[in-house]
Amino acid sequence: MFANRLNPPPTIEFLKQLAQGSLRQKQTFQRAIRLWVELRSLYAEEALSLHEPFTFAEWRDNFVSPSHPRGDLIPDIHDPACPCAKTAIEWLFPETQQLDPRWQKALKQQENFDDEVLAEYLKMRPFAVTRRSLQGDLHRLSQLGWLKRDRNRYRCIDSPPPEANLGMEVSPTHSLPLLNPNLEDVAKTLGEPLGGHPRCFLYVDYAVQPDQQDRLENWQTQLKDVWQQTPIPPVQLVYEPANQQFEVVVYPVCLYYVRRSLYLCAYGETPTGQAGWYNYRLEHIVSMNVRSPQMTNLPEILSQGYQQDNLPTPNWIEQELDNAWGFDFYAPKKLLLVRFEREFHDQYIQGTRCHNTFEQVEREEARSLILQHATPEQQKQLLQLLEKHSPEDTYYRAWYREGDSSVLERLRTWRPCGEILLPVPLREQMREEVAQEAKLYQ
């Protein structure tokens, strides 16, 4: 009864049903494979032996190996036999571990995949995710009708849910990908006019002045031409942020709209003088010239990349964005611990999503994090604060990019009902900002 949909490899239509979004997005592709594998762990002939109702922890402990991390770090390959060590192609084609041309053709027809992107996705490990992602998978399966859920316990169903829309013809799409798969679903569902009128509008702040738009369109046209070349050549930029001027040679990777503007994510020389990644705000670029990979004085970091054919792709950026909260994906990753007053939490935080690492923790876990990440003197002060605050308060932890302005903006909007506990330097920065702001109203 379940076998038709669960036998490997799954159909493209079924993966799209599970993902509830476009498989062209890396996160969605990996999530769809995870959900399918998790269904096999529950309903296939080799299903896990679970006593119902079961909790997430009971399912997880039966599914992964004993050495699999139980915390919220993405696991390394700690055990070759653990599911988190398997790549996507090993799950999809367990007998041959080779891509089936017919399956590949169906994916291309329905999702407009190119071979390079698919090859990269198939090398990834779908279960190299945090505990929270796995826990969210079971919740998603219950929403899709594949599990019955009662609070934090689950039961299997007797017969599979109806196959919805499998007979519909799905045409290739070339729409602009949205990093939030749920928002992409909204655009896909309501993007067409209904009843003779458009019904879905996406409003975004865009800080670029009209007199700068022509220049931005010129950079976009140049980049489009660059990205259609093989190999993609480096570009030389003259960059002028805040009345300073820098000349850099970089490998252009992709464009992102974030923080009210367009940014070019590029790899190579940077305004800081250190080689690596940098996000260049597009309207601050005053000139862009295409160079050759064989140019003299090509930065060493790019010369090696061209010689070894291992220059970065947008997928690497997406992975780093997934690892920590913040657009400055190349900045150091830091642990964030925040306390919210209960009423504020229930109205504005509960049920929202800042980042996939942003999750609620118990008060005792907050205490443990303080002991791990603060000095003895800082621990004393912070633990006293924990005792002073209401036991009804809530605590959240996340990984964030140090100094990222979008994260700092969000933290400021939570004042005065959201208190930064960790890291301590960020807590001190917020304290100084509040003190300065208070002087304005004296």
Of all residues in the chain, what percent carry a pLDDT higher than 70? 92
Torsion angle of C-alpha atoms 379, 385, 391, 397, degrees rounded to 10 = -50
Is 79 exposed, middle or buried, given 0-12, 13-18 or 19+ CB atoms closer than 10 A? middle
Cβ-proximal residues to 352 (8 Å cutoff; 6+ apart), any chain: none
CB-based contacts of 254-257 (< 8 A; 24+ apart in sequence): 254/314, 254/317, 255/220, 255/223, 255/282, 256/317, 256/327, 257/204
Question: What confidence score (pLDDT) does residue 173 get?
Answer: 39
SS3 196: coil
**pLDDT over 80 at 128, yes or no:** yes
Q: How far apart are CA 160 and CA 163, in angstroms?
A: 8
Q: In order of start, what are the domains of the chain with their CATH numbers? A: 3-168 (no CATH), 210-312 (2.30.30), 323-440 (no CATH)
Give mean pLDDT, residues 155-183.
58
Residue tagged 């995870």 (tokens): 34
Mean pLDDT of 396-412: 95
Find out whether 241 and 264 touch, Cβ atoms under 8 Å: no
Choose between 353 and 438: higher pLDDT: 438
Of 261 and 198, which is predicted with more confidence?
A: 261
> For 28-48, what is each residue's pLDDT tens digit?
899 999 999 999 999 998 899
Least confident of 33-37, 137-141, 185-189, 307-311: 185-189
Average pLDDT on 261-284 reads 95
pTM: 0.61
- C-alpha span between 389 and 371 (Å, rounded): 18
Q: Give the confidence band of 330 by pLDDT, cuts at 50, 70, 90.
A: very high
348-369 pLDDT tens trace: 998 888 898 999 999 999 999 9
pLDDT digits (tens, 9 = 90+) for 66-85: 999 877 678 899 999 999 99
Write down the pLDDT at residue 214: 82
Q: Residue 178 has what pLDDT?
A: 54
The string of pLDDT tens digits covering residues 89-105 is: 999 999 999 999 999 99
Mean pLDDT of 290-314: 93
What per-residue confidence (pLDDT) applies to 45?
84
Residue 361: predicted pLDDT: 94
Q: What is the pLDDT of residue 1?
A: 59
More confident residue, 222 or 2: 222
Q: For 182-226, what is each residue's pLDDT tens digit?
A: 565 566 566 666 777 777 777 778 777 777 888 888 899 899 999
pLDDT for res 187: 62
> Tell me, what's the pLDDT at 111?
80
Burial of 352 from C-beta contacts in 10 A (0-12 / 13-18 / 19+) = exposed
Q: 3-state secondary structure string, 3-14?
A: HHHHCCCCCHHH
- The phi, psi pair for 40, rounded to 5°, reads -65, -35
* Higher pLDDT, residue 149 or 24: 149
Confidence of residue 380 (pLDDT cuts 50, 70, 90): very high
pLDDT reading at 177 higher than 60: no
Q: Give the pLDDT confidence score for residue 402 in this predicted structure.
A: 97
Estimate to the nearest angstrom the gap between the alpha carbon of 61 and the chain centroid.
25
Q: How far lies 275's CA from each of 26, 191, 197, 269, 365, in Å?
A: 27, 41, 50, 5, 38
Residue 426, pLDDT > 70, answer: yes
What pLDDT shows up at residue 171? 36
Q: How many Cα atoms occupy the beta-carbon half-sphere of 279 within 13 Å?
A: 19
The stretch 118-143 carries a mean pLDDT of 90
Question: Minimum mean pLDDT among 124-128, 158-162, 286-290: which range?
Answer: 158-162
Residues 338, 181: Cα–Cα separation, whole Å: 26
Q: According to the model, what pLDDT value does residue 433 have?
A: 96
Per-residue pLDDT, 172: 37
Cα 437 to Cα 409, 412, 433: the distances in Å are 15, 12, 6
297 Cβ neighbours under 8 A, 6+ residues apart: 249
Q: Average pLDDT, stretch 270-291?
A: 95
